[in-house]
Amino acid sequence: MKIRLACDLQTDSIVDGEGIRTVIWTQGCSHHCKGCHNPETHDHTKGIEVDVEDIKNKLSTLSNQDGITLSGGDPFFQVEASCEIAKYCKENDLNVWAYTGFTFEKLQEMSKNNSKLRDFMNNIDVLVDGKFELEKRSLNLKFKGSRNQRILDMHESLKCGKPVIMEEYNTEKTFLGYDCLAKEKEFMFI
């Protein structure tokens, strides 16, 4: 089975979820959020086609990684291959985060007639859901770009049938002692 990626696997990330993570940047996204930071990942025909077995082999050689993060792009446009990778990680003690422009509610609705999607959702530990909304952007959020996005405990959410927000990430902190966005705006007017 093949998956289309935007680039090679990125190891040792500390900004794409909790701990030290390997990020899998999937290619292809139809959400077209205004202000998206990765517009080059939207085209479903671009990027590189990679065998899922090769990704598994690569993951098996890595050390000191807490888990993987499926990002992009949107991994939910390549459900089968993303599911295969997520399953492999769960079998090998790597936790799985996934970013998507779909909401949890939309995924649940879509999964009613899609067993592979249900399977994929069952193999995700943490879901960061929702489109990036430029008007709600904040540089003071942890692991997400805009305030509408939610960091969800996927197992609890699936158990309860509704989104369960992980409160530990549901804060908007002022890093480095000042508000980054306020500073950014300030610089824009100089």
Interface residues with ligand SF4 (CB under 6 A)?
Answer: 29, 31-33, 36, 38, 41, 72-74, 101, 131-132
Token pair, residue 132, equals: 């990036």
What interhelical angle do 115-122 and 104-111 show, nearest 10?
140
Task: Using the minimum distance from each CB to ligand SF4, give the nearer residue, 1 or 134.
Answer: 134
138 CB neighbour count, 10 Å cutoff: 14
Omega before 73 within 30 of 0, i.e. cis: yes
- Could you tell me the smallest distance in angstroms from the CB atom of residue 180 to ligand SF4? 19
- Could you tell me the smallest distance in angstroms from the CB atom of residue 146 to ligand SF4? 9
Task: Compute the Cα dihedral for 75, 107, 16, 53 and give only its sign.
Answer: negative
Task: Using the minimum distance from each CB to ligand SF4, give the nearer residue, 41 or 108.
Answer: 41
Question: Pairing between strand 67-71 and 48-51?
Answer: unpaired
Token pair, residue 122, equals: 């069952």
Question: Which residue of the chain is nearest ligand SF4 when measured via CB?
Answer: 101
| Distance linking the first and last C-alpha atoms of the chain | 52
- Could you tell me the smallest distance in angstroms from the CB atom of residue 140 to ligand SF4? 18
Task: Using the minimum distance from each CB to ligand SF4, give the nearer residue, 29 or 79.
Answer: 29
- Could you tell me the smallest distance in angstroms from the CB atom of residue 96 to ligand SF4? 18
Residue with tokens 């993303």: 82
Name the nearest CA neighbour of 129 among 98, 166, 100: 100
Task: Using the minimum distance from each CB to ligand SF4, give the nearer residue, 74 or 125.
Answer: 74
- Could you tell me the smallest distance in angstroms from the CB atom of residue 130 to ligand SF4? 8
Task: Using the minimum distance from each CB to ligand SF4, give the nearer residue, 85 or 88.
Answer: 85
